[in-house]
């Protein structure tokens, strides 16, 4: 590390000394081009880094605290890590940024590119939140493009056949029970669970659907309990007809691993 810092500062081993002090020549053009390349590469990777769900990679029971808050800005994105001990200084900065964005939208010639991007992101997030709230109330049909959930931040993706994320909200389909995939109890349950996940993904991606509330709003895990319907027909019932789900109305769930089946 120290050799690298000395290299950047222009010092080189074996350079002639003048007056007892070591002063190395400036870094070469090739080295400077390398640094620029690595900086651009890191900037291009920043949007991908921001999508990673780092909490899923931390072992259970381990808590990570940052000593201070800091941010990294690149042409391709902005990474913000909230502060622990520096939280008191982070809040005024956030408020100042918000005020700047508001002022920028109202004052001609004042906004910068970064400020406009921040204001647009805030407006987009507010619009998405409003649409999600309307969908969860069953007010209107919604549609999204669902993937299979991984380590990235979960926005619109399938957990398994009866659980999915939509607009950042976790939803449990209330009228069915599908085989577990996290983890399955046997090979048969794994196969059925994967098939149920893919089938429900296809049904949700087939077009607009409604999220119909029931008497209970959330379950004990904090998931929103909703019926999923299209044209008045339950998508959960479609999974039941394909043998990939069972009707569920509460109580203990039946196992999917039977005797004599692996």
Please compute the mean of the pLDDT values over residues 11-33 and round it to a whole number.
62
> Token pair for residue 212?
């119909």
The answer on pLDDT for 241 being more than 90 is yes
Closest among 227, 220, 217 to 247, alpha carbons compared? 227
Q: Which pLDDT belongs to residue 81?
A: 53
Residue 103 has φ and ψ, to the nearest 5°, of -65, -35
Q: Which pLDDT belongs to residue 250?
A: 76
The residue written with tokens 């810092």 in the block is 5
> Token pair for residue 161?
């056949």
Please compute the mean of the pLDDT values over residues 241-260 and round it to a whole number.
81
Q: Which pLDDT belongs to residue 44?
A: 80
The single-letter DSSP state of residue 259 is T
Q: Which pLDDT belongs to residue 205?
A: 96
What percent of the chain has pLDDT above 90? 36
Q: Judging by DSSP bridges, how do beta strands 169-173 and 233-234 pair with one another?
A: unpaired
Q: Which pLDDT belongs to residue 86?
A: 43
Please compute the mean of the pLDDT values over residues 209-226 and round it to a whole number.
93
Q: How far apart are CA 231 and CA 141, in angstroms?
A: 10
The answer on pLDDT for 172 being more than 80 is yes
Please compute the mean of the pLDDT values over residues 188-200 and round it to a whole number.
94
Between 257 and 164, the higher pLDDT residue:
164
> Token pair for residue 155?
């926005």
Q: Which pLDDT belongs to residue 203?
A: 96
Distance, CA of 113 to chain centre: 25
The answer on pLDDT for 35 being more than 80 is yes
Q: How far apart are CA 248 and CA 177, in angstroms?
A: 6
The residue written with tokens 């394909």 in the block is 242
Q: Judging by DSSP bridges, how do beta strands 169-173 and 224-230 pair with one another?
A: parallel
The answer on pLDDT for 110 being more than 60 is no
* pLDDT band at residue 138 under the 50/70/90 scheme: confident
The answer on pLDDT for 27 being more than 50 is yes
Please compute the mean of the pLDDT values over residues 120-144 and round it to a whole number.
70
Cβ-Cβ contacts under 8 Å for 177 (sequence gap 6 or more): 162, 245, 246, 247, 248, 253, 254
Q: How far apart are CA 12 and CA 15, in angstroms?
A: 6
Please compute the mean of the pLDDT values over residues 140-147 and round it to a whole number.
92
Q: Which pLDDT belongs to residue 87?
A: 45
* pLDDT band at residue 57 under the 50/70/90 scheme: low
The answer on pLDDT for 261 being more than 70 is no
Between the two ends of the chain, the Cα-to-Cα distance in Å is 55
The residue written with tokens 């029931």 in the block is 214
For 18-79, the DSSP string reads ETTEE-PPPPPHHHHHHHHHHHHHHHHHHHHHHHB-GGGGSPTT-----SS-EEEEETTEEE
* pLDDT band at residue 260 under the 50/70/90 scheme: very low
* pLDDT band at residue 213 under the 50/70/90 scheme: very high
pTM score of the predicted model = 0.52
> Token pair for residue 61?
């029971």
């Amino acid at each position: 590390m120290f050799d690298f810092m000395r290299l950047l500062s222009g010092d080189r081993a074996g350079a002639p000394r003048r007056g007892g002090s070591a002063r190395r020549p400036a870094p070469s053009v090739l080295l400077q081009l390398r640094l620029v390349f690595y900086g651009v590469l890191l900037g291009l990777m920043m949007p991908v880094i921001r999508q990673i769900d780092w909490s899923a990679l931390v072992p259970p029971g381990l808590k990570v605290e940052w000593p201070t808050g800091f941010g990294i800005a690149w042409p391709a994105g902005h990474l913000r890590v909230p502060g622990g001990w520096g939280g008191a200084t982070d809040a005024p900065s956030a408020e100042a940024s918000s005020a700047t964005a508001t002022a920028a939208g109202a004052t001609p010639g004042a906004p910068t590119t970064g400020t406009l991007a921040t204001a647009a992101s805030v407006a987009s997030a507010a619009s998405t939140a409003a649409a999600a709230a309307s969908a969860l109330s069953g007010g209107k049909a919604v549609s999204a493009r669902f993937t299979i959930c991984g380590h990235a931040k979960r926005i619109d993706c399938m957990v398994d056949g009866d659980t999915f994320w939509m607009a950042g909200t976790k939803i449990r389909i209330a009228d069915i029970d599908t085989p577990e995939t996290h983890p399955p109890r046997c090979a048969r349950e794994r196969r059925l669970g994967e098939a149920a996940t893919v089938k429900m993904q296809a049904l949700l991606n087939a077009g607009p659907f409604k999220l119909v509330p029931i008497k209970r709003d959330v379950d004990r895990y904090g998931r929103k309990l909703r019926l999923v319907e299209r044209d008045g027909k339950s998508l959960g019932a479609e999974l039941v007809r394909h043998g990939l789900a069972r009707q569920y109305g509460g109580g203990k769930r039946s196992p999917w691993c039977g005797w004599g089946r692996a």
